[in-house]
Amino acid sequence: RCRSLPGKDGYDLVVVANRLPVDFSVSPAGDLTWQRSPGGLVTALEPVMQQEEGAWVGWSGAPDLTHEPFDADGMRLVPVTLSPDEIERYYEGFSNDTLWPLYHDVIAPPTYHRQWWDAYRRVNQRFADAAAEQAAQGATVWVHDYQLQLVPRMLRDLRPDLRIGFFDHIPFPPVELFGQLPWRRQIVDGLLGADVIGFQRNGDAANFVRAVRRITDYTTRGPVITMPDAEGRPGRHVRAQAFPISIDSRRFDELARSPEVQHRAKEIRSDLGDPETVFLGVDRLDYTKGIRHRIKSYGELLEDGRLDVTRATLVQVASPSRENVGAYQDLREHVEILVGRINGEFGELGHSAIHYLHHSYPSEEMAALYLAADVMLVTALRDGMNLVAKEYVAARSDERGVLVLSEFTGAADELSPGPLLVNPHDIDGMKDIIAAAAAMDPKEQRRRMRRLRRKIMSDDVAKWSESFLSVLYAVQPPAAAEPRS
Ligand code: G6P
């Protein structure tokens, strides 16, 4: 058991997330090494973690990897071990083939397996035990995302002295869909172990409160749910509220201003044959992102002669994701067949209709792509927030470029007006918007981009974590509660 401060037992701030903010690898000599992985969450939390002596509990990303807690960049990292069987049932199964499609409007059909649920419970308990072990008396624990919805309740049972926050990074579905889940009651009770439950949009928070009303007999008033105490009298309060997440806007802005990135952006355009219009899509290869709808619309615009392959091109970055899950394998097939067909039909020597890249890239290359793109296409069928839309805006200090943004993203709630909003299910409507984006005059681009940048440069991810934590810190911890040992 490690101690962060002399005379102090445990950490004052503990973050619990499915993934640790590092990637492990085995060196040629056979030693286990790790590198930082530059996720959004760690950027947001690093400053507070360093200031508060924080610990981060998470999975290494590899099967059967067991490692002692260690220090990295002023944080304690605490790896949780998952067996291959648990990765299959808890991560690929229940998290990404049950909850993920259910919470994204059943775009793909969710699978309900009792063995997956058993693994989800067991792994959530392991994360809760690890967090309970790291947290100092009266500490604050912040649990993240749909993979760990049972942790707040489990943690409260182990450690009634803690302040517990939960943030749901993905949508929370309407109760009419959530109600399909055989374990809906356990999930709601799991989340209600927290003092504050954060969501991306007001609509997500409202969906959750409605689910509480329909599924339990707890009383709710606006965003506050009152839990009964042991005698059934009104007890502690839980607050369910929106805290829209953001990005490190300044970092992206600075990156995109750097001479290297500016140079690379020019190089990208010239490699593409200096077309008049570069369209860009950047997504994890996920069926929630509307990649097929976007590509279909683009293909039809070429077919209709409204776009010309010698004057426009689409760059689609699709980073590999959850490749062991069937729905993701099917999607890859469909996208690659569609891209092949469109390129075969409309491409010319030296002019590809679509440049499809099944890779992920470092943020420098992403910033250069954003700068090179005249039109950014974010056409998700459902998305908790969508940070790509925000990164594009942060990269465009030149106040050029057009953001086409799906109505079904959290970002659309926050950023309108400014983007061109689309309903990706309406292919004709989307084609008109894509064509209008390509034709938008620079003055109108500037007017919209200024508005977007004002919002994004001020509402960055540091502000997001501060606002969540300030609501959580305002919760009075139970005075006399002692940790159970
Ligand atoms: C979404 C989820 C995250 C998840 C990420 C990448 O953004 O909200 O919790 O980490 O996708 O997915 P992966 O399954 O690779 O962790």
List, chain by chain if needed, residues with CB within 6 Å of any ligand 1 atom.
Answer: 18-19, 145, 169-170, 321-322
Check residue 45 and give its pLDDT: 87
- Cα distances (angstroms) measured from residue 61 to each of 20, 38, 58, 341, 452: 8, 14, 9, 35, 35
Q: Which residues contact 233 (CB under 8 A, 6 or more apart)?
A: none
**Residue bearing tokens 């056409």:** 379
**Cis preceding-peptide flag for 109 (omega within 30 of 0):** no
Check residue 482 and give its pLDDT: 55
> Which residue, by CA, sits nearest to atom 16 of ligand 1?
19
For ligand 1, the distance from its centroid to the CA atom of residue 61, given in whole angstroms, is: 12
Cβ-contact 316, 355 below 8 angstroms: yes
**What average pLDDT score do residues 323-343 get?**
98
> Which residue, by CA, sits nearest to atom 9 of ligand 1?
145
> Which ligand 1 atom sits closest to the C-alpha of 147?
9
> Which residue, by CA, sits nearest to atom 12 of ligand 1?
321
Q: Which residues contact 254 (CB under 8 A, 6 or more apart)?
A: none
> Which residue, by CA, sits nearest to atom 10 of ligand 1?
19
- In this predicted structure, the answer to whether residue 368 has a pLDDT above a threshold of 90 is yes
Helices (H) and strands (E) in the chain, counts: 18, 18
Q: What percent of the chain has pLDDT over 90?
A: 89
Model-level pTM? 0.96
Check residue 481 and give its pLDDT: 55
> Which residue, by CA, sits nearest to atom 8 of ligand 1?
169
Check residue 484 and give its pLDDT: 54
> Which ligand 1 atom sits closest to the C-alpha of 96?
14
Report how far residue 368's alpha carbon sits from residue 366's, in angstroms, rounded to the nearest whole number: 5
Check residue 46 and give its pLDDT: 84
For ligand 1, the distance from its centroid to the CA atom of residue 120, given in whole angstroms, is: 16
> Which residue, by CA, sits nearest to atom 6 of ligand 1?
321
For ligand 1, the distance from its centroid to the CA atom of residue 271, given in whole angstroms, is: 32
Higher per-residue confidence, 478 vs 291: 291
For ligand 1, the distance from its centroid to the CA atom of residue 146, given in whole angstroms, is: 9
Report how far residue 295's alpha carbon sits from residue 289's, in angstroms, rounded to the nearest whole number: 11
- In this predicted structure, the answer to whether residue 122 has a pLDDT above a threshold of 50 is yes
For ligand 1, the distance from its centroid to the CA atom of residue 200, given in whole angstroms, is: 15
> Which ligand 1 atom sits closest to the C-alpha of 146?
9
For ligand 1, the distance from its centroid to the CA atom of residue 19, given in whole angstroms, is: 8
Task: Band the pLDDT of 7: cuts 50, 70, 90.
Answer: very low
- In this predicted structure, the answer to whether residue 80 has a pLDDT above a threshold of 90 is yes
> Which ligand 1 atom sits closest to the C-alpha of 39?
10
pLDDT digits (tens, 9 = 90+) for 251-310: 999 999 999 999 999 999 999 999 999 999 999 999 999 999 999 999 999 999 999 999
Q: How far is CA 413 from the centre of its chain?
A: 16
Residue 261: count of CB within 10 angstroms of its CB: 22
* Predicted-assembly ipTM surpassing the 0.95 threshold: yes
Structure tokens at 393: 């805006």
> Which ligand 1 atom sits closest to the C-alpha of 321?
15
Check residue 148 and give its pLDDT: 98
Check residue 2 and give its pLDDT: 41
> Which ligand 1 atom sits closest to the C-alpha of 95?
14
Check residue 8 and give its pLDDT: 61
Paired residues of 409 in beta bridges: 383
Give, for ligand 1, the residue of 90, 166, 170 to mutate: max count of ligand atoms closer than 8 Å to Cβ. 170
> Which ligand 1 atom sits closest to the C-alpha of 17?
9
- In this predicted structure, the answer to whether residue 166 has a pLDDT above a threshold of 60 is yes
- Indicate the SS3 state at residue 162: coil
**What average pLDDT score do residues 31-55 get?**
83
Task: Band the pLDDT of 35: cuts 50, 70, 90.
Answer: confident
**What average pLDDT score do residues 65-72 get?**
93
- Rounded to 10 degrees, the C-alpha dihedral 58/63/64/65 comes to -50
pLDDT digits (tens, 9 = 90+) for 190-225: 999 999 999 999 999 999 999 999 999 999 999 999
Cβ-contact 159, 132 below 8 angstroms: yes
Cβ-contact 21, 37 below 8 angstroms: yes
**What average pLDDT score do residues 76-100 get?**
98
pLDDT digits (tens, 9 = 90+) for 390-408: 999 999 999 999 999 999 9
Cβ-contact 411, 389 below 8 angstroms: yes
Check residue 446 and give its pLDDT: 98
Cβ-contact 192, 225 below 8 angstroms: yes
Report how far residue 170's alpha carbon sits from residue 204's, in angstroms, rounded to the nearest whole number: 9
Check residue 17 and give its pLDDT: 97
